[in-house]
Amino acid sequence: GAGVSQSPRYKVAKRGQDVALRCDPISGHVSLFWYQQALGQGPEFLTYFQNEAQLDKSGLPSDRFFAERPEGSVSTLKIQRTQQEDSAVYLCASSLVGQGGQPQHFGDGTRLSIL
């Protein structure tokens, strides 16, 4: 498809397990973003890539969260030793460039539930 693709759509894990969430951006989009959306809240910024470079990771809540985009296309958000407060929808977005008036295009998200 032409949109941002995220997988899996749903992920259930036990507390303490590691998880990996995948994002496939729109072809040709230079910039890629990860957001976390808790239930009933707006999305909150986690991290931003321009090509393969991670230019901003100020929103990552702890060192258990790690993101990569090694070839400047697909990105993976990894959460180690998951905790219940990590339960949320994780949204990926891409845009042609990261700054200015370029809109970000969002995937449908991965709903993560930690038991």
Partner 1 sequence: GDSVTQMEGPVTLSEEAFLTINCTYTATGYPSLFWYVQYPGEGLQLLLKATKADDKGSNKGFEATYRKETTSFHLEKGSVQVSDSAVYFCAPHNTDKLIFGTGTRLQVFP
Between 33 and 82, name the residue whose CB sits nearer to partner 1.
33
Q: Which of 8, 15, 44, 52 binds partner 1 (CB under 8 A)?
A: 44
Report residue 27: phi and psi, to 5°: -55, 130
68 binds partner 1 (CB under 8 A): no
Q: Choose which of 41, 51, 62, 83 interacts with partner 1 (CB under 8 A).
A: 41
Q: Which amino acid is at 89?
A: V
SS3 call for 84: helix
Helix (H/G/I), strand (E/B), else coil: 105: strand
CA distance linking residue 62 with residue 66, whole number of Å: 9
Residues that bind partner 1 (CB under 8 A): 31, 33, 35, 40-45, 48, 55-56, 59, 91, 93, 98-101, 103-109
